[in-house]
Amino acid sequence: MNILVTNDDGWAATGIARLADVAAQFGSVTVIAPAGPQSGISHQLTMGRAMELVEHKPDWHSLAGTPADCIRFGLHHLSREFDLVLSGINHGANLGVDVFTSGTVAAAREANFHGVSAIAFSQYRTSMSSDNFDWNRSAAWTAKTLQHLLVTLDQKPKPASPALINVNLPDPDSSEPAPPAMVECQTDLSPLPTEYSRSGNRVQFAGRYQNRTRVAGQDVAVCFGGKIAISFL
């Protein structure tokens, strides 16, 4: 199986290195990811300027564009055909309505548009400090989840439409004893908090991600509750 790996945190991010390691357990891996951070870029595409493509080592590229750009170019202009696209492991969650603004999920969605099954992986933490991320544990949970999903997809009747799956790993501090349970659940479309601070004519978002609405049984509540949230989009 040929696997294309990308992210929105940039080609040098720790999360994509861990995801590439996991993917290598299941197939031949090629990486193409943004040259720098593109978090929250959603499904933006680059049309009006040239993008620098750099091969940092064999089968490991950066592109000075968006996550969706990386997938469009990677699927059609690299040296092989791909059976699966993986995006992540994102530094932070992509739950609920985040799927509309997330570059991580947009990369997977772009692959889906082109007929390739894709899975986005994100690691939720209540604290976003890089020092608090146990990427080895994230990789272990990702490997377990990917193995489960590949079996699930293989069992689907053929021919089946390409899958688009969003996976959010829970904060290890609030999770079940390792490994946490995997729960297939709907995407919670409740809006994010709407608090803003104001100083004169300047306003700044002041809502807390952890205070967002949680609908029981849907992805936000599942992940915040310490389980791996798997949503088929």
The DSSP code sequence of 31-69 is: EEEESS--TT-TT----SS---EEEEETTEEEESS-HHH
Measured CA to CA, the distance from residue 224 to residue 115 in angstroms comes to 32
Tokens of 22: 């996991």
Measured CA to CA, the distance from residue 25 to residue 16 in angstroms comes to 15
pTM of the model: 0.95
**Domains of the chain as residue ranges with CATH:** 2-232 (3.40.1210.10)
Measured CA to CA, the distance from residue 214 to residue 68 in angstroms comes to 29
Confidence of residue 161 (pLDDT cuts 50, 70, 90): confident
At 23, which amino acid appears?
A: A
Of 184 and 79, the one with more pLDDT: 184
Residue pair 164/118 in contact (Cβ under 8 Å)? The answer is yes
At 206, which amino acid appears?
A: A
Measured CA to CA, the distance from residue 180 to residue 51 in angstroms comes to 40
Mean pLDDT of the chain: 94
Whole-number Cα distances in Å, 22 to 5, 71, 99, 170, 193 = 10, 19, 23, 18, 34
Measured CA to CA, the distance from residue 225 to residue 218 in angstroms comes to 11
Could you count the other beta carbons within 10 Å of the beta carbon of residue 171? 17
Beta strands in 44-156 (DSSP E): 53-57, 60-63, 84-91, 117-123
Digit-coded pLDDT (tens) for 84-138? 999 999 999 999 999 999 999 999 999 999 999 999 999 999 876 666 778 999 9
Enclosing H/E stretch for 106: helix 103-113
pLDDT above 90 as % of the chain: 87
Backbone angles phi, psi at 125, to 5 degrees: -140, 140
Q: What is the pLDDT of residue 154?
A: 87
pLDDT above 70 as % of the chain: 97
The partner residues of 62 in beta bridges, in order of sequence, read 33, 54
pLDDT score of 158 more than 90: no
Confidence of residue 175 (pLDDT cuts 50, 70, 90): low
Measured CA to CA, the distance from residue 15 to residue 139 in angstroms comes to 8
For 42, left (φ over 0), alpha (ψ -120 to 50), or beta? left
